Amino acid sequence: MELKNLNENINIVEEVSSGSIAEELGIEPGDIILSVNGESIKDIIDYKYMVTDDYVEMDIQKPDGEIWELEIEKEPDEDIGISFTNPLIDQAKNCRNKCIFCFIDQLPKGMRETLYFKDDDSRLSFLQGNFVTLTNMSEEEIERIIRYRISPINISVHTTDPELRVKMLCNKNAGRLYGILERFSEAGIEMNCQIVAVPGINDGENLDRTLKDLSRLYPNVNSVAIVPIGVTKYREGLYPVEIYDRSSANEMVKRVEALQKKYLSELKTRFAFISDEFYILSGVEIPDADYYEGFPQLENGIGLIRSFEDEIVSALKQKPENRSNKRRYTIATGKLAYEFMKEVAELVMSKYRCLEIAVVEVENEFFGRDITVAGLLTGSDILKALEGKDVGDVLLVSRSMMKRDEEIFLDDITLQELGERLGVEVVPSEVDGAKFVEIFEDKE
């Protein structure tokens, strides 16, 4: 996840919600929050808990230097309606690990600086859903999470074997994880956990142990996602690792599904879920929606394909046949989702018969051909696959390929540049079935 303005240590208001208390009081973008209840603000967590009372005193500084002293009466926990230019109101904590599977360590040189920043900040877990390892957390910070009941927190576990976790994260503090998890569980903190599986290292019997340990903390450990390691071609000098193939992915599916039966009996939940990549690699059919129990880890690629397809089917059922103009579309996707996106194209064309939709499998030359997910394709990969070819009227690319809030790929090629080079309208598509279907409707 690329971060924006997380190292600006100024409490500057970026946006004021319409109709909010802040708007009524005259707080505006550009104002600086100096203190709340007479205390300076350490970070966003302090701010959120300082403003929960029904009476709040706030000092702000206007752009012209004038100081306003505000007295705010409101309902307990009612939001004041302020967002900040720096979401943390503090510097983001840099990761101190050297994980053997770290994707950022596998990036080529010369990319934009923000892509190399590795965060490991529990506040970002609370605010943005980032996963954190807890290795750089002080006793004061642990107590603060418990005192403020910061929840939910997303935690990168990988293994509960202390010695193996130290080895995998290359951090002497990594082995104390389970004790922290127990303390959080006792305090009622909700946690979602992640395991990046590395063949022959933390899968097999070690995975069984990890899931057994985490299941003891259910329901406070709400769910566990298991995703495969991603390996780029830039691993020179890094720890030697293998990647999953059809056989080892199939073994993973069987192992986890056997454990899920046990957890269903004991906990009334499957508890642990494997990512779509394992199913596609193994050739095992992706389960129905009910299997995913509400999709608690959709952002981790757990059930994303099933959710997307079901949303498309539902959206198409509600749409009339209102296409009148023939148009030709091309969908650029990665190797992993290629067969699935061909099925999606057929679904849409069966509804709108005047459309032609071609799906093109794009090889990842930028990071290496072992990277098969669509979200890591770059503009240069798409250009190499499509330049000089007839791609019809519209090219669809996944929004996940681009920087958050900007239409630019990881290799700094912009959406506009891609369209100009290919001579076609390029439309970014959200991983949202209803919005995806809307792309194909006639526009007035």
Mean pLDDT by groups of 10 residues along the chain of 444 residues: 42 90 93 88 78 90 92 88 72 76 90 70 56 86 84 92 97 95 96 96 98 98 96 94 96 97 97 97 96 94 95 91 78 96 95 92 96 95 95 95 87 95 94 92 63
Burial of 113 (0-12, 13-18, 19+ CB in 10 A): exposed
Q: Is the domain 13-84 a CATH 2.40.110.10 member?
A: no
Instruction: Please report, for the chain, the start and end positions of each structural domain, with discontinuous segments joined by +.
Output: 13-84, 104-302, 309-438
The dihedral of CA 62, 64, 68, 73: what is its sign? negative
Residue spans of beta strands (DSSP E) within 319-362: 328-333, 356-361
The reported pLDDT for the residue numbered 118 is 67
The reported pLDDT for the residue numbered 94 is 67
The reported pLDDT for the residue numbered 223 is 96
Tokens in use for 83? 């967002």
CA–CA separation, 106 and 95 (whole Å): 15
The string of DSSP letters for 217-264 reads TTTTEEEEEEEE----S--TTSPP-----HHHHHHHHHHHHHHHHHHH
Architecture of domain 309-438: 3-Layer(aba) Sandwich (3.40)
Maximal CA-CA distance, the chain: 68
| pTM > 0.75 | yes
CA–CA separation, 220 and 217 (whole Å): 6
Residue spans of beta strands (DSSP E) within 254-390: 272-274, 328-333, 356-361
Tell me, which fold does domain 104-302 have in CATH? pyruvate-formate lyase- activating enzyme (3.80.30)
Nearest-10 crossing angle of helices 338-351, 304-317:
10
